[in-house]
């Protein structure tokens, strides 16, 4: 008897210790009321929806909710109509998404009114850059949840399946309906039969949550896996090989989504290796997979060392092919024309390609924004991108409207590079979970504000677990929700300020893209992989001249942006050094010189992060000890890192400006030589 009691006590203690480890994400249990769920149709997906409602209902006790699966012209795709008493949808997945939306409204105190909820994008995907050895490229939250290592990938455990189920549930709760399981720098092994067996097992788990699986493929697979003499996309044997491989995949996974391809980019094989075009390569794959209902997502991330401006190449390579791609090809375009920088103007391809479906590619993992150490809420960056006007079809031609079918009636999709790994809290930083959540919410509704998304996420993730939400007092709102939400909303701008204000870009340490490295260059390394290539600092000034007197990248933007960006007096200051080599003495809107304003902006960024520490310290009474301490610890590192960024950049660029740092700004506390010598400390 004593032994049994001891075991029970241990189990209870273990539950308490791990109750707030972050693994539950935004799906934490609240106080439960009873509900009656009625549905005449049966399926695995509908059963999940019913169970979610029964297990998480916080609405009127004893209420009845009807799940109605019936065609309704008001609903598109996996959308749904929600009311207090029913969820109507055309698909099983729509019923599931409606269940999660209803529960979200209950848990965030929103009144449920009858309304149609249709997704902005048909395909809402995560791209995992996971490798077969279990590592994750640009992953900062542990190992891959899909791949263990080359020797053990053939084995699937019940723990694997449980983790995949939890992952699927989290994605379904925010409307994500697809996932690419492997790195865009793809190993050809993904198409081997033994590997596809594991892919099938993963697909079998994800399917009932409305999630289809996709694979990144190596363009040279016919030669590597198939043993052919070539992978030329116009070769008859190559065409036959891809058709046969597609049939094999669909026999295993009937609802397989399709292929993601990084080709002729950063050393990856592609059609250019055989004297062919992007159209030749993409259309060949599209033809192979089309009979099965699959798509090809062809990445536009291309650049070569021979170009005078890396920012121009994707537009130059792809725009001439507009209208030549098959209708099941989607060109996947990064939000900016360089590479997921803290701030970039939108890629000019958006809106310019009018006859080809384009899907925005966003980066959820914080490759250039402090990895899983810095608290940076990315929704404001994505909102800024989506709501920017391209002017391609007149005023109001935002990136969102150019990609979601509003202006161009094409297949719609959006992708986010995942920040998920085997860390207990999934993302390495408790607040990094908010970026996964925000991507899903914006993929479903690209008109949501960052404030609304942050408000939802905080209420779901940190809500007090008390009866009938009694813990949501005015004190909780005033002292926790409001200041923490403001911290999240300010965090991206703060990161820009202490890293790369006014259009600075790609001045990171080269190997890991974490700390500052504006000085980094090596003999024999291609110029566009060095940092001076991007800032071009000299005694006159700093910045990349992309005007008509420079690379003329501004010409890729539609008027009035071409003229606005091209004139140093009208260019938005946030893009000043992106488009102009501006003199150090250039007068800014504040009345200060460019040099002085750079100094003040770096200082502002450091002070902002220090203030985040104060905000979080004051939040201690409202947060469980485990998550409070972990976030507090990372904010300390972030403040230290921000100081290094400020000191490194000001001391480095001061060598060119030859001007003093304004005397009312805190002095640098590091020496430049020491920063160069000692890589930034990353915990």
pLDDT at 306: 75
Q: Residue 216: beta bridge partners?
A: 260
End-to-end Cα separation, the chain, in angstroms: 46
Are the beta carbons of 296 and 261 closer than 8 angstroms?
Answer: yes
Q: Where are the beta strands (DSSP E) in 233-335?
A: 258-261, 295-299, 329-334
Length of the chain: 683
pLDDT at 304: 81
For helices 450-462 and 433-444, give the axis angle rounded to 10 degrees. Answer: 130
Q: Which has the closest alpha carbon to 35: 56, 10, 12?
A: 56
**Measured distance CA(255)–CA(576) in Å, rounded:** 47
Asked about 266 being catalytic, the answer comes back as yes
**Measured distance CA(649)–CA(644) in Å, rounded:** 8
Are the beta carbons of 41 and 173 closer than 8 angstroms?
Answer: no
Q: What is the pLDDT of residues 593-624, one digit of tens each?
A: 999 999 999 999 999 999 999 999 999 999 99
- DSSP assignment, residue 618? H
Those residues whose C-beta lies under 8 Å from the C-beta of residue 195, and which sit 6 or more positions away, are: 132, 153, 189
**Measured distance CA(654)–CA(665) in Å, rounded:** 14
Three-state DSSP at 524 gives: coil
**Measured distance CA(434)–CA(453) in Å, rounded:** 9
484 phi/psi in degrees, rounded to 5: -70, -40
Buried b (16+ CB within 10 A) or exposed e, 447-468: ebebeebbbbbbbbbbbeeeee
What distances in angstroms separate CA 351 from CA 217, 322, 445, one per listed residue? 28, 11, 19
Those residues whose C-beta lies under 8 Å from the C-beta of residue 218, and which sit 6 or more positions away, are: 186, 187, 188, 190, 191, 224, 268, 269
Which pairing describes strands 178-180 and 212-216: parallel, antiparallel, or unpaired?
parallel
631 phi/psi in degrees, rounded to 5: -70, -40
Q: Which has the closest alpha carbon to 412: 300, 299, 330, 321?
A: 330
Catalytic residue among 317, 367, 389, 490: 367
- What angle is formed at CA 422 by the lines to CA 420 and CA 426, rounded to 5 degrees? 45
138 phi/psi in degrees, rounded to 5: 60, 30
Q: Rounded to an integer, what is the distance from CA 580 to the centroid of its chain?
A: 29
Catalytic residue among 150, 273, 339, 455: 339
**Measured distance CA(546)–CA(463) in Å, rounded:** 48
Asked about 367 being catalytic, the answer comes back as yes
Three-state DSSP at 359 gives: strand
Those residues whose C-beta lies under 8 Å from the C-beta of residue 261, and which sit 6 or more positions away, are: 216, 217, 219, 270, 281, 282, 285, 296, 297, 298, 299
Q: Which has the closest alpha carbon to 79: 145, 16, 124?
A: 124
DSSP string, 444-470: H-TT--HHHHHHHHHHHHH----GGGT
Paired tokens of 657: 């400006």
Q: Which has the closest alpha carbon to 396: 351, 360, 335, 344?
A: 351
Helix ranges (DSSP H) in 348-507:
379-386, 399-403, 433-444, 450-462, 474-476, 482-499
- What angle is formed at CA 372 by the lines to CA 371 and CA 374, rounded to 5 degrees? 80
CB 157: neighbour CB atoms within 10 A?
Answer: 10
HSE-up (13 A, CA, CB side) for residue 485: 21
Give me the domains of the chain, ranges plus CATH numbers.
31-117 (3.30.379.10), 123-462 (3.20.20.80), 497-544+581-677 (3.90.1330.10)
Residue 674, exposed/middle/buried by CB under 10 A (0-12, 13-18, 19+)?
Answer: exposed
Q: Which has the closest alpha carbon to 429: 474, 384, 366?
A: 366
Three-state DSSP at 141 gives: coil
Catalytic residue among 44, 114, 149, 266: 266
**Measured distance CA(363)–CA(416) in Å, rounded:** 5
What distances in angstroms separate CA 91 from CA 69, 100, 294, 445, one per listed residue? 7, 15, 19, 19
Those residues whose C-beta lies under 8 Å from the C-beta of residue 466, and which sit 6 or more positions away, are: 31
Q: Dihedral of CA 656/660/664/666: which sign?
A: positive
Buried b (16+ CB within 10 A) or exposed e, 229-264: eebbbebeebbebbbebbeebbebbeebbbbbbbbb
Are the beta carbons of 670 and 648 closer than 8 angstroms?
Answer: yes
What residues of the chain score a pLDDT lower than 70? 1-19, 150-151, 466-469, 471, 680-683
Q: Which position has the token pair 């198939």?
A: 226
Are the beta carbons of 626 and 20 closer than 8 angstroms?
Answer: yes
Paired tokens of 138: 């640009």
Q: Which position has the token pair 């260019």?
A: 571
Q: Which position has the token pair 């539609």?
A: 558
**Measured distance CA(666)–CA(654) in Å, rounded:** 15
**Measured distance CA(346)–CA(585) in Å, rounded:** 28
Q: Which has the closest alpha carbon to 638: 494, 483, 523?
A: 494
Q: What is the pLDDT of residues 119-173, one digit of tens each?
A: 999 999 999 999 999 999 999 999 999 998 866 777 899 999 999 999 999 999 9
Q: Dihedral of CA 646/651/654/655: which sign?
A: negative
Q: Which has the closest alpha carbon to 213: 138, 284, 294, 139?
A: 294
């Amino acid at each position: 008897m004593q032994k049994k009691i001891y075991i029970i006590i241990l189990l209870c203690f273990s539950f308490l210790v791990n109750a707030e480890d972050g693994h539950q994400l935004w799906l934490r249990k609240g106080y439960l009321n009873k509900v009656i769920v009625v549905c005449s149709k049966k399926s695995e997906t509908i059963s999940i929806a019913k169970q979610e409602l029964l297990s998480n209902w916080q609405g009127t006790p004893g209420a009845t909710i009807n799940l109605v699966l019936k065609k309704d012209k008001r609903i598109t795709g996996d959308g749904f109509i929600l009311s207090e008493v029913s969820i109507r949808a055309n698909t099983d997945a729509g019923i599931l998404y409606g269940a999660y939306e209803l529960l979200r409204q209950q848990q965030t105190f929103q009144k449920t009114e009858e309304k149609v909820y249709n997704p902005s994008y048909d395909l809402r995907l995560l791209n995992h850059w996971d490798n077969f050895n279990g590592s994750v490229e640009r992953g900062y939250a542990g190992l891959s949840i899909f791949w263990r290592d080359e020797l053990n990938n053939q084995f699937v455990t019940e723990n694997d399946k449980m983790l995949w189920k939890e992952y699927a549930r989290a994605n379904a709760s925010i409307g994500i309906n697809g996932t690419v399981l492997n790195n865009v720098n793809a190993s050809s092994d993904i198409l081997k039969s033994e590997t596809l067996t594991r892919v099938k097992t993963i697909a079998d788990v994800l399917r009932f949550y409305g999630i289809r699986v996709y694979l990144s493929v190596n363009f040279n697979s016919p030669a590597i896996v198939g043993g052919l003499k070539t992978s030329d996309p116009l070769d008859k044997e190559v065409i036959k090989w891809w058709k046969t491989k597609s049939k094999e995949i669909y026999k295993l996974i009937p609802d397989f989504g399709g292929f993601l391809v990084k080709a002729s980019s950063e050393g990856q094989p592609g059609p250019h290796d055989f004297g062919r075009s992007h159209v030749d390569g993409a259309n060949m794959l599209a033809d192979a997979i089309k009979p099965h209902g699959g798509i090809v997502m062809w990445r536009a991330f291309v650049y070569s060392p021979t170009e005078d401006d890396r920012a121009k190449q994707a537009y130059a390579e792809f725009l001439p092919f507009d209208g030549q791609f098959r209708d099941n090809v989607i060109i996947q375009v990064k939000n900016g024309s360089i590479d997921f920088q803290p701030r970039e103007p939108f890629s000019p391809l958006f809106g310019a390609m009018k006859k080809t479906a384009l899907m925005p590619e966003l980066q959820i993992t914080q490759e250039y924004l402090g990895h899983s150490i810095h608290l940076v809420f990315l929704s404001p960056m994505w909102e800024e991108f989506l709501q920017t006007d391209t002017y391609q079809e007149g005023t109001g031609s935002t990136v969102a409207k150019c990609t979601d079918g509003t202006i161009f009636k094409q297949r719609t999709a959006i992708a986010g590079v995942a920040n998920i790994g085997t860390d207990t809290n999934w993302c390495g930083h408790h607040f990094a979970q908010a970026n996964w959540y925000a991507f899903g919410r914006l993929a479903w509704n690209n008109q949501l504000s960052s404030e609304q998304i942050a408000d939802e996420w905080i209420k779901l993730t940190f809500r007090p677990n008390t009866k009938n939400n009694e813990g949501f007092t005015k004190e909780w709102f005033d002292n926790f929700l409001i200041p923490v939400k403001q911290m999240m909303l300010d965090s991206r701008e703060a990161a820009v300020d202490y890293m790369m204000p006014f259009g600075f870009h790609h001045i990171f340490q080269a190997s890991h893209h974490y700390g500052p490295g504006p000085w980094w260059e090596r003999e024999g390394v291609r110029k566009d992989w060095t940092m001076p290539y991007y800032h071009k600092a000299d005694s006159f000034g700093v910045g990349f001249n992309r005007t008509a007197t420079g690379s003329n990248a501004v010409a890729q933007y539609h008027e009035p942006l071409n003229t606005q960006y091209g004139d140093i007096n009208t260019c938005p200051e946030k893009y000043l050094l992106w488009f102009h080599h501006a003199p150090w003495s250039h007068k800014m809107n504040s009345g200060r010189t460019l040099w002085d304003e750079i100094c003040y902006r770096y200082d502002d960024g450091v002070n902002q992060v220090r203030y985040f520490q104060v905000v979080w310290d004051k939040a201690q009474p409202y947060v469980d000890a485990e998550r409070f301490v972990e976030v507090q610890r990372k904010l300390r590192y972030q403040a230290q890192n921000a100081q290094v960024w400020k000191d490194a950049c000001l001391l480095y660029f001061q060598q060119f400006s030859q001007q003093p740092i304004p005397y009312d700004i805190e002095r640098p506390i590091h020496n430049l030589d020491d920063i160069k010598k000692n890589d930034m400390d990353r915990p």
